[in-house]
Structures are given as C-alpha cells and as structure tokens.
C-alpha cells in the first residue's frame, strides 16, 4: 500500500541547453570587435582614397595643368577599390569558415545560431545585415538596436531577427 503523504514521483528528463553549451560573448568584446572592424575597413578602404585625394590636391596645385593631381586621385580610388576587394574577401572567408569578422576573430568571439549551430553566410548577410540595414531608415532604430545588448540574453535586435547569438570562440 502506498503512502498518501509521500511526495509525487515523476520521471523528469533534462532539457538541452538552448545555446548548445556556448558561452555568450562579453558586451565589451562585441563593442571592441565592432570598433576594430570599423578601423580595419577605414584603413583598407578610406585611407588609400583620402591619401590619393590629399596628394592629388597637393600635386594638382603645383602642376601646370593639374593632370598629376587627377592621376593621383584616380590612383587613390583604385587603391581604395583594391582595399575593398581584399577586405570583402577576408571578411567573407572568415565568416564562411567560422562565423567571425576580422574584429571578432581578433577578439575571440563568433556568431552562431541560437541553438549553437554554425551560421550560414546567407543568414548572416540577408537577415543579420541586409534586413537590419533596411530597418535603419526608422528613426532611432540603430540606437534601440544597440540598447538591446544590455538585456539578459545579450542579443541586439539584429541578432533576434536572424536568430543568432555572439559567443566566445
């Protein structure tokens, strides 16, 4: 005969970790990676163009017909285009390989699906970047998107849209 005062008994199974056992990246690491990515992009794309424009302005003002200045600005634009191609190739190859931009790779963090599965390049580009860029026409969206990092899940709005998290690599 069973004891009517005994606690109920039930078979309980453990639930899998929804993040696939991954540890969320620190907010400071995410900010640092974003700043590093911006500086790397600027150094590879904007700096050659600006250097060519400045040098072109100096040479153009000293030359008789200004052709040296135009050629230097064109050379700066060509270097900027080369920098853009190299930056794009590096970024795409890192993202395809392990879900990391250059800055994320340097700081040891990466983007994965919320269940811990690797992210596809298409999901990262279309949902996490393209859709987010389109939504940026809404005033203050960028500010609101960034504020979501302070939530318990550490997911910005673009992470929620793409069903991604940023974790330690």
Q: How many Å apart are CA 90 and CA 100, to the nearest integer?
A: 10
How confident is the model at residue 69, as a pLDDT?
56
Q: For the chain, which residues make up each domain, given as ranges? A: 27-168
How confident is the model at residue 130, as a pLDDT?
92
Q: How many Å apart are CA 84 and CA 122, to the nearest integer?
A: 20
Q: How many Å apart are CA 46 and CA 69, to the nearest integer?
A: 18
- Main-chain phi, psi angles of 10, to 5 degrees: -145, 150
How confident is the model at residue 14, as a pLDDT?
59
How confident is the model at residue 117, as a pLDDT?
92
Q: pLDDT tens digits for the chain (169 residues)? A: 788 888 888 776 655 555 566 899 999 999 999 999 999 999 999 998 888 878 776 666 665 555 655 667 787 888 899 999 999 999 999 999 999 999 999 999 999 999 999 999 999 999 998 999 999 999 999 999 999 999 988 999 999 999 999 999 9
Three-state DSSP class for residue 58: helix
Buried b (16+ CB within 10 A) or exposed e, 23-35: ebbeeebbebbee
- What does the CA dihedral 21, 18, 9, 7 come to, rounded to 10 degrees? 90
How confident is the model at residue 52, as a pLDDT?
80
How confident is the model at residue 60, as a pLDDT?
61
How confident is the model at residue 22, as a pLDDT?
81
How confident is the model at residue 46, as a pLDDT?
93
How confident is the model at residue 44, as a pLDDT?
94
- Total count of residues recorded for the chain: 169
């Amino acid at each position: 005969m069973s004891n009517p005062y005994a606690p109920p008994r039930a078979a309980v199974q453990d639930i899998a970790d929804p993040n696939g056992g991954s540890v969320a990246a620190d907010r400071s690491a995410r900010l640092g990676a974003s700043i590093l990515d911006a500086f790397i992009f600027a150094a590879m794309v904007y700096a050659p163009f600006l250097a060519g424009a400045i040098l072109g302005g100096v040479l153009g003002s000293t030359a008789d017909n200004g052709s040296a200045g135009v050629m230097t600005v064109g050379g700066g634009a060509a270097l900027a285009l080369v920098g853009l191609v190299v930056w794009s190739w590096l970024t795409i190859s890192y993202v395809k390989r392990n879900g990391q931009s250059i800055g994320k790779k340097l700081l040891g963090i990466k983007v994965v699906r919320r269940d811990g599965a690797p992210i596809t390049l298409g999901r990262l580009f279309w949902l996490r970047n393209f859709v987010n860029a389109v939504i940026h026409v809404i005033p203050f969206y960028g500010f609101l998107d960034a504020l979501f990092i302070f939530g318990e899940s550490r997911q910005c709005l673009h992470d929620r849209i793409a069903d991604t998290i940023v974790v330690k690599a």
